[in-house]
Amino acid sequence: MRVLVNGTGNIGTTLANLLLAHRALLGIGEVIVRKVREPRPFEGPDLNELVNRGARLVHAPTERAAADLLASIDYVFDCRRPGAALRDREVYLHLPRLRGASAQGSETGFGVPFVGGVNAEVVRGEKLVQIASCNTHATATLLRVLGGARLERLEEADLVCVRRSEDLGGRERLVGANVVSRHRDARHGTHHAADAARVYATLGLAPCVTSSDITTPSQLMHAVRFNFRLREARAAADVGADLEAERHLAVTTKFDSNRLFELGRRYGFQGRLYAHAIVVANDLLVTERNVRGWAFVPQEGNTLLSTIEAFLLQTGHRRGDAVRHSLCARLIPRVS
C-alpha cells in the first residue's frame, strides 16, 4: 500500500516517522511525504532525515503534478494548514484508487469526526474522516470512561481547558498573559465540548457537556479540569480503576506538567506522549454523584494515534483491532 503524508509541519513529520517506524505492522509498502511549499534552507536536515529513514520526499508544486501524485496513492494523511484539506475534499472523493483520507482537527465537514476508542465502528470503511482536536480527544474519552460507553451513567459534564498557546517548536501564537476564549456555541460553550458532541452524534448520542477555554503563556502541555455529574453515586476506587484500565488514557501521580513533559521527551516515541489524556489519579475528588479532577493533554500526540487508528479502520486492515491494541500498548504507558 502506498500512503501519502500531505504536509511536513509539526504533525506531518511526526506522523511520517510513526508510519515509517511501524510500517510492517501497518501493512504499508511506501511512505511518500509531500512538501507543499518550496523547502526553506533550515528545513533541509529535517526532510533529509525522513528520507534517510525510508520516506520518499516529493514536492509536486503544480496542480497537474499534485493530481498525478494523488492518482497513484492508496491513502492520504492530510496534515496541511487549516482549510487545505477541505478545499481538496471533492478531489479525494472522486479518486478511484484512493481507499481513504483523513484530515486534522480544524477541518470540520471534511468527513466523519473521529476519536479513537469512542466511535470506531462508524468510520470503518468510510472514505473521509476528520480527526478531532487534541482537547476534544481528552473530552470525548473522559466522557466515555466516566459516563459509560453509551453515556448511560452521565447526567452532565463541564470541562475547563487550560491551553498552552503555542507548540514548543513554534513562535507565531505566543501570548503574554492569560486569554479567555469566547463561548461561541450557545449550547456547549467552546468548540471542545461542541466537537465532542459531534463525535457522539455519530453514535446517536447527545451528551449534556459544556466547556470553557483559557490560553496561558506556555509552550508545553494543555490541561483540563473536569466536573462530571453522574446519574448514580460511585465509589472513588471504582472511578480510579476505570481510568487506569482505559488503554487510551494514562495516569500519573505528578502535579507538574513540566515533569510529565520531560518524561515524554525522554521516553516517548519522537519525544512525545500519545495518551488522549493523562489523569492525575491521586487528586480525584469523588463526592456522591460528582467526579472532579485534572488531566494533562499531550497536544497532537493523541490525534496522531487516532489518525493511525482511522487508517486501519478505513482500509479494512485484516488485523486492525490487534494492531490498534498493540500501538496503544507501545505508545501509551500505564503509569507515568
Each residue of 173-188: pLDDT tens digit?
Answer: 667 778 888 999 999 9
Candidates 295, 325, 296; CA nearest to 309 is 325
Q: What pLDDT score does 19 carry? A: 96
As a whole number, the mean pLDDT across the chain is: 91
**For residue 197, which amino acid is it?**
A
Q: What is the pLDDT of residue 299?
A: 77
- Find the radius of gyration of the CA atoms of the chain: 20
Predicted confidence (pLDDT) at residue 152 exceeds the cutoff of 90:
yes
The pLDDT assigned to 275 comes to: 94
Instruction: Kindly tell me if the per-residue pLDDT of 335 is higher than 60.
Output: no
Structure confidence by residue, pLDDT tens digits, 102-132 = 999 789 999 999 999 999 999 999 999 999 9
Give φ, ψ of 192 to 5 degrees.
Answer: -60, -50
Q: How far is CA 255 from CA 63, 200, 261, 293, in A?
A: 50, 30, 12, 11
Residue 168 has pLDDT above 70, yes or no: no
pLDDT (0 to 100) of residue 171: 61
The residues near 74 (Cβ < 8 Å, ≥ 6 apart) are: 1, 2, 3, 97, 98, 99, 315
Specify which residues 136 forms β-bridges with.
Answer: none
Task: Give yes or no for residue 62 having a pLDDT over 80.
Answer: no
User: In the prediction, which pLDDT does 282 show?
Assistant: 93
Give the C-alpha separation, 158 to 179, whole Å.
19
> What are the structural domains of the chain?
2-132+302-331 (3.40.50.720), 134-300 (3.30.360.10)
* pLDDT at residue 181, rounded to an integer: 84
* pLDDT beyond 80 at 154: yes
Answering whether pTM is above 0.85, one says: yes
Cα→Cα distances 13→103, 190, 336, Å: 15, 29, 25
For the stretch 127-141, pLDDT in tens is: 999 999 999 999 999
Q: Helix, strand, coil: what percent of the chain each, to 5?
A: 40, 25, 40
290-297 and 285-287 as β-strands: parallel, antiparallel, unpaired?
antiparallel
- Cα within 13 Å of Cα(216), Cβ side: 12
Axis crossing angle, helix 134-147 with helix 191-201, rounded to the nearest 10: 60
Nearest to 86 by CA among 54, 128, 49: 128
The model's confidence at residue 332, banded by pLDDT at 50, 70 and 90, is confident
pLDDT for residue 172 = 64
The mean pLDDT value for 297-323 works out to 91
- pLDDT score at 64: 83
Q: What pLDDT score does 72 carry?
A: 94
Output the pLDDT for position 166. Answer: 67
Q: Which three cell numbers stand for residue 276?
A: 488522549
Residue 336 is predicted with a pLDDT of 61
The partner residues of 295 in beta bridges, in order of sequence, read 224, 279
Q: Three cell numbers at 250? A: 494514562
Burial class (CB in 10 A: 0-12, 13-18, 19+), 204: exposed
Cα→Cα distances 234→150, 156, 209, 285, 287, Å: 17, 15, 20, 12, 9
pLDDT tens, 255-303?
Answer: 988 888 888 888 888 888 999 999 999 999 999 899 999 999 987 788 9
Cα separation of 80 and 219, whole Å?
A: 21
What is the mean predicted confidence (pLDDT) over 190-209?
96
State the pLDDT at residue 208.
97
